[in-house]
Structure 1
């Protein structure tokens, strides 16, 4: 076997590295997806043939107003290939309908006007009425009921008061909800922090079913679906994107049925059967998903799923926005050990869940069993160390350090894009 040259996604570009001869590279089959025409045509075709629903233009008949939930700056949803057609159908037989684009920030920071323009295009960003959801303002959110878990469902008033609630989105593996898209536009997308915290509680995150690619038996997914129904999410347009973030498939119609169809379609293309490894190298998929350490936990879980006991995990993430959350940083930096932090978290009841708890719970779970080397910007070296990880300047440096610890013949698995795959151990 010979050494291999590979480009790992990182920021808006990538990092070149030379892999040892024994390294096995695992990539999804996402680029094998059968593309049925250009991106706009794919979306239009899906909207002409909605799943479990009437077409959007029929749903809009007689409605005074509609709210379209759109993704925020942290999601690579190709809105420019979805929103124009949703807006067109909403107005097709109801040109006077009032339309609000509600940006689903969940508990993230607010999306800026510049980010909205970059995401939606100048025409839509300047012409349409846009509201950025804020999970922190009680008066802008309203309690509409109780979820199966017992948590209160508190959603943005704009959505609760809409005659018609619809959403765009995209479907990819998600590290604790199973898959993104569909019902996630409502929970966590447009919910009050209280509801998000309940859904992301310690007991749910600890469930063995709250993992990438798992929907059946997943308590987080169950409450998300209930939230979508209770909020009246009537219709979605969700897409599947390839490694270049181009639309390759689309699913429109009923919020639950269309989403389920999309997940079923995607699963065989994104599932990897990986041999257990001593060293796993992966990334968070590049921008925008590797914008901070908080998001980078997602890629770590892909490496975790392929790891032998005591394996070393290497993650490449640019983290232009730093940690992504002060409480997230403080939890890891301030704990005696990942094990001690996990023990503390597991005692926290649902109604006492705090900001970012779920993210540092998952990171602590990974760190309890594995040494993690983070390839990122040198400015974050001290931050990375404080959070119980190791800094490396390049994938090559990280691999060299890992091989020194595990031996030159260590089993190496490389998963170039850790957030786009479902890893199953062979």
Structure 2
């Protein structure tokens, strides 16, 4: 399969090239030149997640990754449960049972193993900007792999204490940088270096990399395999719009999604765009659902490439939620059902409160990662989990960094 840039100024490339480059040389994002046909039988009778994943991804990767290699990668990477649970009248797909307790484990763990398989000579440095969960998933997924090293950039003081601890735990081949700026600054630094790498050999692990999106399609199919609906709405907590883009790709390949609901916090540029305001994007705003604090989402460019505006507005409905509404959503859902939602999932649950079934909410992070916020809503913190308890005794390492690509370049050039 061939992949093309959203900006159309470079020749099509194969999947390994798109994966290892991360960003196209013209600054665009890679998208498939032609969408593959996914047989309904590949997913609607599935009882095994890794087996279903193999059937879904094979058409996307064609002969570029040997089937035996891909099967092994998927078994190793996606070795955790993905339950669909009923919460009141809503179905919730829990995507937080991986090692770092967020949905980012799907993309990061699969992508890291694909990259490690393809990189055979000099090591590749992976850049990742994070507003919360991406960095820890990438650090965990890529750490200790022989051909890769990772630089994680996060906005200083703008992630939860638990998220920061996950980011800065010492891992072989991983360095964390606390950037004196916003997530948008971190993302801009990564993009600038990818377009002008100089002598550095770089790629990206954000959802600007198509290799992150393909594994994220898989749980959409899994939800429908478990739910067995003729059609359903899917509500996605949104930040950089990568998760939503993965769902749109699944839908364009035949998954019977009736509508997507793009659930945002106060960073509501995309819902405003869907409502007709084409200049709604701006600087990011800090909220309780910090992993969604993205002012200028990169994957908006992909969505515009994949969907004409009128089709996008028919397929996707936007919503936004204040911090007060987020806390109220956590409280309401717990009082009505006993279910504890993290703040990102709570934003999505607020968006579908009055919708008729079937509707599926993607639950993107474990509530134990946000004990202070859950305690504000409920009066008590959620029970901790072993994956987080172990962090308390682990050594950490973090370096300060100014929000410029030159500052990052100097750090990478001095990395021995």
Q: What is the TM-score with the length of structure 1 in the denominator? A: 0.29
Going by fraction, where is helix more abundant, 1 or 2? Answer: 2
Larger relative strand fraction: 1
Higher Rg of the two aligned structures: 1
